[in-house]
Every structure is written in structure tokens, then in C-alpha cells.
Structure 1
Amino acid sequence: MHWIDWVITVVPVLFVLGIALYCRKYVRGVVDYLAAGRVAGRYVISVGDMQAGLAVISLIALCETEYQAGMALGLWSKVTIPISIFLSLTGYCLYRFRQTKCLSIGQFLEVRYNRPLRIIAAVIRTTAEMMTNAIGPAVAARFFIYILGLPHIVNIFGWQVTSYALIMVIVLTMAMIVIWPAGRISLLVTDVIQGLMSYPIFVIFTVFVLSEISWSLDVAPVMLDRVPGESFLNPMDIDKLRDFNLFALIVTIIGSILNRAAWIGNDTSGAGRTAHEQKMAGVLGAWRNGFASLMLTLMALFMVTIMLAGRFAGEAKVIRTNLVNKVVEEIVESPQLKGKIKQDIAVIPEERHTIGVDKPYSHTDNPDTPYLNSVHNNLKDTPEGNTVFQKFRTLYFQMMAPMVLREKLPVGVMGLLVLLMVMLMLSTDDSRIFNSSSTLLQDVVMPLRKNPFTPKQHLAWLRGMSVAVCVFFLVVSLFFSQMDYIAMFISIMCSLWLGAAGPIMIGGLYTRFGTTTGAFCALVFGSGSALSGLFLQRSWSGYVYPWLLSSGNAKYVSMLFDTVNSLCSPYIVWEMNEIKFPINSYEIYFISMMFGLGAYIIGSMITYRKPFNIDRMLHRGKYCDGESSVVATPWSWKNVYGKLIGIDSQYTKGDKIIAWSVFYFSIVYQFLLSFVCVVIWNAISPWPASWWSMYFYINIIVVGL
């Protein structure tokens, strides 16, 4: 980077770290450290949540998804709009959890079930959370290595140190600087400051991308140049998409409802001064997140266009060659093999592809195919060749975005983008470290102690546990390889907890019949099936598939997969593969949720004795302790719509305006007009390709701006 870019990056980051240190003066007790004293307002929470929800890993995951499946699935994803808006406006799960006045999810589990479940569930949840979140700093570290062009090995006072490990240490140290002084207070304040800094960068980068590529000349032709069944732009022609398809969307919808409360109790979900403020922060987030989503989407489209559009073929050849060489330097140990791969890659010709004349691209035949085939041919006969190739393919698609940005961004814009990525990394990593450390202490360590902590000891343990989680993140990032798309990896790792969390939390918050036995059954069958799937995914190419071949069982497993394919194709396709486990992460996630839900219901019904006193847990009725409560109002034709979207007696006139504006934009425009009417229209008279191009241009660019 140019020195101007370094100044643009470093100065604001130092300012944010200084603010974090200054926040220490506001910590007066454990509640301040854990939940910001529960005095945060809706605007602070909504901006902080936006920044904490964005991450480098979010960008890379979106780029991977767009590069593999395009935008066509975006139309069908609009079916989630009324669901998410309804959940936000009604305060589903969040409102009830806030009424329990529990500081953590573990405290709730002990109140609703018992202490052993609290401890076991906390261990499973935190392990899944930490394993998932540990790849965040790892992906960010590699992003900076690739976008800055850093060598994989650096010499520090005669010691050979990997840049990856060095940047990981720097990343985690910065996160601890934010966490250590004031916990949730410093997290919330720095997230808000970084969020306010990010908005101008979103605007600048959006202008840059729109000036570099044309929607009609570049983006739309590339997205439409796909074989039948794999369109990147026509939602009616996506039945052959494999990983990111309609079934994955269905699983996402089910998970968003069933696991609404799975991660509740951390982040800012307990920082609002009232349950109503917490609820309104979620409603405001629907507006504040819009432009951030536009910027990330444009970045992904920018990468796809540069790598696939004909007029950028020369630059794409350079990017692919440099990308392969960079990844090979990192994961291939043999110098001779590295040289052979680089030599073979160098002679691959520039892709000359004329849209409308040449055969359209497909998942198996595209400009990346010769590069992937060349590397696989060199690796397949080496020890653990298939496993190494899985790592290569994962890093190849992950690091494509930073290599494109390195090639295309000018001075100034590069500095702003790196600053944005540092802030996104910092705001996400520090929150996740803090969440894991507080959960471990509150729900594992404290229930095992005979004597409670003093406030001073409690704060010291919280800080110490954060350091321990940082060390865990570092160790996992160094020794645990991610071997799938980021969205898939997150799905399978989170399912270790999410396979059981939904019925445990919803059953605990909303039912009187749920029992402790039912909750344990959900953990055994839901989390257990997810763990089995994870084991098969990671050991398939190295152990499971070779064993199936040597034992003669491969044909029987193949027959089972064929039976499933005959029933579920084309949305679920399980094919025997020597490299990758046939059942993808979304499918494993779905199986684990169904097992967990069924086990909870059956286990609870078998052991049900008497209804649980849910009124006492929620501090309502005769157990009300004086906090403001909702005044019940009768249903009438005048208020029926307001009640359906969650408007109650606590809503001011301004609150109602915000709620109704979100409702009309999301439900009336995005869902009814942009989805329902469009689907009906196409069912009667299918649109030509040019109409879909205009549809996504309006919905992504025009409306986003």
C-alpha cells in the first residue's frame, strides 16, 4: 500500500482503541461490564449491532456465494422478509427473554430447567461458538496477507515466523485492548464510533464500483451467461444449483424461526434499558443495515464481473495466476511440487470467451476449471493429496476477493477499504471473544463454585477468561483447517448447538410442558447428529471413503444415496465423491434440527408431570415486580393491524411511524410487489432475460441507493 493508505488506515484505528481505553472510567460493577448497565438506547444499540454484525468473514462468504450461485436466489429469499419483520416487530423470543431478567442464556436454562443442563448446554454452545468464531480472525488475517501482498514467512530477529500467525496475534491483541477496559461498554461505544465511520466509506466504495463496471454491459451479461438450470440472474432457472439453492434457503428459514433465541443473552440483547427499547433497536436495524448490505453486494458483484467478464480477461488471468501461486506457497510443502504447479499454471492461456457465441459457463466448466484441474492433477497422487486439494480449493475461492481488490483499487480507496476491513474485523472479533468468555464464566465456572465471586474477583475473571478465549482462537486458527465454503462451515459448526437449541429455548420460553429430560434428549440427538456429520465431513477423503472402498461397502452407501436422489433431486443430490462428503452442511443442519425437535417433544411428553410456572419466570401477573408492563388492549378493527405487527401501549407516535414505515417498505414493497406479484406474473407469462436484469438493477442498485 501507498503511505497515504497507511495513514488513512492507522490513524482512525488508534483513535478507536484510545476510546476503548477511556471507557474504563464508566465501569462501576459487573452489570456495567456484562450488559453496559442496561441503559443503552435504541439508536446506540442499532448502530452498534450493525457494525458488530458485519465482518471480513461476511464479505468473503458473500463473495463465495455470489461467485457460485449469483443473485437469482435473491428473489426467493424475499420470502424471509415477512418472517424476519414479524419476528422483529413482535419481539419474538427476545421480548420474553428480556422479561426473565436473566443476564445470560445459561442463567435462563437453570431457571427453566436445572443446573446440570445449564453447564452441559453452555459447554456445547460455547464450544460450537468458539470453533465457529475462531475462523473469523483466521479469514481476516489471510485477507490482509493477500490484499497487502505480504509474504507468508517473515524474518524477525533471525526467527522465521509465518505472517499468518503474526497477524493473528496482532488481530487478537487489538480485540483485547477493546474488551479489557470496560467490557460491553467499550464494545458498544467503539462499535457505534466505527459504525459512524463506516457510512462514508460505504458511499465512496459504492461510487467507485458503479464507475468501474456497467450493469447493462458487464454485470447482467455475465450473470445470464450460464447453462440452463444454473442461471445467476433468472430465479425461474436455478434448479441445478447445488450448495446454495432453494433447499438451503428453506433450511435457513426454518433455522431463523426455530433458533431465534439460540444466541440470545449475549451481544447487546441484554443492554437495552427496557425490553421495548431493545425491541425498537431491532426495528431500526432494518433501515440502518440497508446501505451496508448494498456495499457488500456491490463488492461481490465487482469480483464476479472482473473474473468472468470478457473485457477483463487479461486482468483475470493475472489474478488467477497470482492467486494460485500465493495459495500453493502457503499449503504445499514440497519445493519441487510448488515449482511444477506454478509452471503448469503459467502456460494456461487467457480465457477468450464471447457471450452468445461460446458455450455458456457452468459449475463444472468455467474459467477456473483449468486452474483447479491442473492443481488437482499435481496433488492427487501425493500423500493426502485429496485433503490438500480441498484446502487449496477453499482458499482459492476465499482469497479471490482480496486479490481482485489488490489489483483494481487506486490509492486512497485502497486505504479506506483496508480501514473498513480492520474496523469490521475488530468490531466482530472483540464481540465474539467477549460473548464466549462471559458465557464460559457465567454458565460453567460460576455454577461450579461454592462461594460466589466478589465484584472485583468477578471482573478479574471476566478479563482473564477473555484472554483464555483469545489463546483458544489463536490455537484453533493455527491448527484447525477450514475445508468448505465459509457459509457451509459456519452452518455445520453452529449446528453442534443449533441442532438442539431451538426446542430447548422456545420450549422454555413459550411452553409449560417442556421438561429437563426433553432438553437433554434434544442435546443428545440434535447435537449428536451434527457432530456425526462434522466427523464424516472432515475425515471423508482421508479415512472414510478409502475404508468404504477397501471394505466393499461403497456400493451400498452409493445405493442409499441414489435412493435419496430419486426422491429429492434436483434440490438434494448425494453423489459418491472421493474428495468431499456428499451430504452438505445445510443438509446436516436440517437433519440435526429435526432430530433435536423430535427428541425434545417426545422426551418432554414421556416425562411430563405438571405444568411449569411460566408466569413466575416472566415476572408477570401476581409475580410482577414493578417494572413497566404492557397494558392489555382489546382487539378491534381499528387496532388489528397494529397488533399483528406488535404495536402495543408502550409505542409512542414516533415508534408507530418507524414500525409502520418498516412494515410498508418490507411487506408491501419488497414482499408483495417485488416477490408475490413477480412470481404470479412469471407463472402466467415468464419474463425474458432482459427483464430480470432490470428487476435486479432496480431492487439492488436503485432501491439500495
Structure 2
Amino acid sequence: MGGLEQTAVTLRHQMLVPVALRHILPIGVTGLFCALALFLMVSTDTTYLHSWGTILVQDIILPIRNKPFKPKTQLLLLRLSIAGIAFFAWVFSFRFGQSTYILQFFALTGTVYLGGAGSCILGGLYWKKGTRQAAYTAMIVGMFFGILGFAVSSWWEGYFYPTLNVMAPQLLEEFRVLLYNAGESLPFVNWSVEPEVFRRQFPVSGQEIYLIGMLCAIGSYIAVSLLTCRKEFNLDKMLHRGKYNLEHFIDADADRNILEAEKHHRFNWRSLLGITAEYSRGDRILAWSVLIWTLYGFSVCLVQLVWNLGFGIWSEKNWFNFWRCYSLPLALLVGAVTTVWFTWGATRDLRRLFRSLRNPGKASGTEADDGFVKHDRE
């Protein structure tokens, strides 16, 4: 019953804003908002299904098989994978009750894949000593922390705490004291480990479990790579750099700054962003905008971190004022711009998609472009 009570409390807190909006917004605007929320749910779910389905086939099954499928077979596997994930989500929803905030839940469940995915992507693309064994190890470690964290957070009050309290009460108390001491030493955590609170809810949040999973996955990726790497991978050939960058050497003046930076191993922002001669003006504007926006968001987060660590933790009123005077206006501005931008871009790209489907022979892609990467350590 404890798990159901915690789920009810969580849902009650999360429904405060929707219920308030129902009384604040007029009827017509409320209907538009509900329609928009429904469309967003559909687009998000389809994107998730496509993403996870392709990840299973392209990033797990294909590397294990080590040779490509026929196009029809690969398309069938992708469809079956997507349908299987949809069926799992449908069945799982009957047995699961959310016991934490939605963003914490996203971080917690995301650890299952994202905990180790970052190590595989960054290590695989930018480290010549990265190995397949290290990638699988990192994914397993991230998955372990994700599943363990999800299970403990969801069934702490109903199963884990009562079981440990009976079978190993001393160990449970030592764990509580350890969390208390760690919380006192680390100013950026806020773990509630009072006995009554500790009994009802696991103190470590989903975001913190996500961080622990990522750090352990990174460490395991580096360690296993160093132990299993027998021959360095040819990153230049895979990424078409250096002597393999034939497209840019056709024109002696093309990407001169990038070529000089590669030649002298000099840091170059354009090279970091991957801006090449093929980029149009719009592509360059988009690439720079994404970088500036990301750095700006990181700077704001860094200022908040320094302020709270060095000058005192913000009160709930301060956080509310920050949300009201900064986050909300910025979200409205960005939302207005991206709504126009995405509506126009999505309409244009959708027309191009149907045009390409009507004329498959004129499409730029080929059947060989199936996402399969051959292993080459020359």
C-alpha cells in the first residue's frame, strides 16, 4: 500500500499546474492547449518508438551479427522491433506506478540506455583505442544502474526497506548514515535521511543515479578499452579526415582554415562544429546558433551553481522569481520563434519526403546506406 500512497502523492503534486490552468485559461484556449498536448504526446511517443526500435536493431543486433541484412529483412526487423517496444510499454504501464517527479523519472529511466551511450558515442568517434568490448561493458554498467535505481526508487517503501530492515538492519542503518555523511560533505546534494522519511522514500534522486551511472560507465569504458585494445582504430578513415578527406582536396581553396587547423593541430571552432564547404549559409547559422545557445544555457547553470555554493542556497521564493522573470518569458520567446520555424521547415521537408518516395530512383540515398559500420583498424 505504501507504493500506491507515494504514487498518489506524486500525481497529486504533478496535477497542481494542470488543474490551475483549467481555472485560469478560458474555454477555447483550454481546448487548444489540450489538442496541442495530445499532438505533442503522439509525436513524442512515435519518436521514442522509432528511436528505441532502431537502436535495438542498428546498435545491438547488427554489431553482434557483424554483417548487414538484406534491405527487406532489415526493414522487417525494424518494424517488429518498434511494435515490440510499443507492446512492452503498453503492458508495463499496467504494472507501474510513478513515485517520483516526471523529470526525475525521465532521468532515472533514461539511465538504462543513456548511462552508457555517451561513453560509446564519444569514445567510439573520438578515441582510437575504444573497443567493442568496452562499448558493451559501458552499456551493461549503465543499464545495471538504471534498472537497479528504477527498482529501488519504485519499490523502496513496499519491498526493499522492509526486507533489509528484517534481514540486515545494521547494514541498512550504516547505509543511511553513509548517505547522511555524504550529504553533509557535498553541498550540492539534498538527501532526506531522517528515519521516518528514509523509510518512505529512497533519498537518492533519479538525476543523481543518472550521474553515478554515467561516471561508472565512463570509467568502465576507459578501463576495458585499455585492456582489450590490440590495434588502434583508423578514425581518420571512418570520419573522412586527413588524407581520406578527398572531397575537400578537390578544390585547393575549399575549407582552407579547417585544413590548416588540421595540418597544424590548431583548435578551430568551425572544425569543432564540423562546418565544411558543403554547409550553406543557413546550415552555418544553425550550427553557430546551437553552439551559442548551448554555451549560454551552460553559463546560466554555472552561475546558479556558483551562487548557491558560494553565497547561499536560493529559497523557493527566489527560484519562483527566477522562473517568473526569466524562464517563463524566455520559453515564450523561444516557443514563438521555433513554432514558426518548425512549422515551415516540417511542411517543406514533408513535401520533399513524399516527392522522394514517389521517385525512389532519384533519391540521394542508396540501399548500401543502411547504418552498418564495417570494423577497420588499418
Which residue is 1:485 aligned to? 101
Which residue is 2:51 aligned to? 435
Which residue is 1:501 aligned to? 117
Does the CA contact (< 8 Å) of 2:4 and 2:97 recur in 1?
no
Q: Does 1:548 align with 2:169?
A: no
- Say which is worse superposed, 538-547 or 647-656, in terms of deviation: 647-656
Does the CA contact (< 8 Å) of 2:248 and 2:277 recur in 1?
no
One-letter amino acid of the structure 1 residue matched with residue 228 of structure 2: T
Cα offset, 1:424, TM superposition: 0.6
One-letter amino acid of the structure 1 residue matched with residue 239 of structure 2: L
Q: Does 1:590 align with 2:208?
A: no
- Counterpart of 2:236 (choices 615, 627, 644) is 615
Q: What is the correspondence of 1:624-643 to structure 2 with a 5 Å cutoff?
A: 631-633=255-257, 634=260
Task: Give CA-to-partner distance per residue, 1:93-128, whole Å, 9 cap, x none.
Answer: xxxxxxxxxxxxxxxxxxxxxxxxxxxxxxxxxxxx
Does the CA contact (< 8 Å) of 1:518 and 1:601 recur in 2?
yes
Cα offset, 1:467, TM superposition: 2.9
One-letter amino acid of the structure 2 residue matched with residue 564 of structure 1: A
Please tell me the root mean square deviation across aligned C-alpha atoms, in Å. Answer: 4.2
Cα offset, 1:651, TM superposition: 4.4
- Counterpart of 1:701 (choices 306, 329, 340) is 329
Which residue is 1:567 aligned to? 185
**% identical aligned pairs:** 32
Task: Give CA-to-partner distance per residue, 1:156-208, whole Å, 9 cap, x none.
Answer: xxxxxxxxxxxxxxxxxxxxxxxxxxxxxxxxxxxxxxxxxxxxxxxxxxxxx
- Counterparts of 1:472 and 1:662, CA distance in 2: 35
- Counterparts of 2:151 and 2:298, CA distance in 1: 39
- Counterparts of 2:187 and 2:83, CA distance in 1: 48
Q: What is the correspondence of 1:112-127 to structure 2 with a 5 Å cutoff?
A: none
Cα offset, 1:508, TM superposition: 0.9
TM-aligned CA distance change 1:699 to 1:628, over 3 Å: farther
Does the CA contact (< 8 Å) of 1:503 and 1:596 recur in 2?
yes
- Counterparts of 2:43 and 2:76, CA distance in 1: 22
- Counterparts of 2:30 and 2:12, CA distance in 1: 22
TM-aligned CA distance change 1:409 to 1:466, over 3 Å: same
Cα offset, 1:627, TM superposition: 8.9
- Counterparts of 1:536 and 1:549, CA distance in 2: 14
Task: Give CA-to-partner distance per residue, 1:294-331, whole Å, 9 cap, x none.
Answer: xxxxxxxxxxxxxxxxxxxxxxxxxxxxxxxxxxxxxx
- Tell me the secondary structure at the aligned position of residue 199 of structure 2: coil
Does the CA contact (< 8 Å) of 1:545 and 1:578 recur in 2?
yes
Does the CA contact (< 8 Å) of 1:495 and 1:592 recur in 2?
yes
TM-aligned CA distance change 1:496 to 1:644, over 3 Å: closer
Cα offset, 1:511, TM superposition: 0.8
Cα offset, 1:497, TM superposition: 2.2
TM-aligned CA distance change 1:523 to 1:661, over 3 Å: closer
TM-aligned CA distance change 1:484 to 1:404, over 3 Å: same
Which residue is 2:176 aligned to? 558
- Counterparts of 1:534 and 1:674, CA distance in 2: 27
- Counterparts of 2:49 and 2:174, CA distance in 1: 44
Q: Which has the higher helix share?
A: 2
Normalising by structure 2, report the TM-score.
0.66
Task: Give CA-to-partner distance per residue, 1:360-413, whole Å, 9 cap, x none.
Answer: xxxxxxxxxxxxxxxxxxxxxxxx2x1111110122123333323333332321
Does the CA contact (< 8 Å) of 1:434 and 1:466 recur in 2?
yes
Which residue is 1:604 aligned to? 225
Does the CA contact (< 8 Å) of 1:526 and 1:597 recur in 2?
no
- Counterparts of 1:534 and 1:584, CA distance in 2: 10
Task: Give CA-to-partner distance per residue, 1:513-539, whole Å, 9 cap, x none.
Answer: 222333343234443233333332233
RCO comparison, higher one (Cα < 8 Å, 6+): 1
Task: Structure 1: state its 5+ residue gaps.
Answer: 1-383
One-letter amino acid of the structure 1 residue matched with residue 78 of structure 2: L
Cα offset, 1:510, TM superposition: 0.5
Which residue is 1:49 aligned to? none
Cα offset, 1:541, TM superposition: 0.9
- Counterparts of 1:609 and 1:557, CA distance in 2: 41
TM-aligned CA distance change 1:513 to 1:581, over 3 Å: same
TM-aligned CA distance change 1:657 to 1:540, over 3 Å: closer
TM-aligned CA distance change 1:617 to 1:536, over 3 Å: same
Which residue is 1:529 aligned to? 145
Q: What is the correspondence of 1:316-465 to structure 2 with a 5 Å cutoff?
A: 384=1, 386-443=2-59, 454-465=70-81
Cα offset, 1:548, TM superposition: 3.0
TM-aligned CA distance change 1:459 to 1:511, over 3 Å: closer
- Counterparts of 2:273 and 2:62, CA distance in 1: 39
- Counterparts of 1:450 and 1:466, CA distance in 2: 22
One-letter amino acid of the structure 1 residue matched with residue 93 of structure 2: S
Aligned pair count reads 311
- Counterparts of 1:694 and 1:441, CA distance in 2: 43
Does the CA contact (< 8 Å) of 1:527 and 1:596 recur in 2?
no
TM-aligned CA distance change 1:574 to 1:627, over 3 Å: farther
- Counterparts of 1:535 and 1:503, CA distance in 2: 24
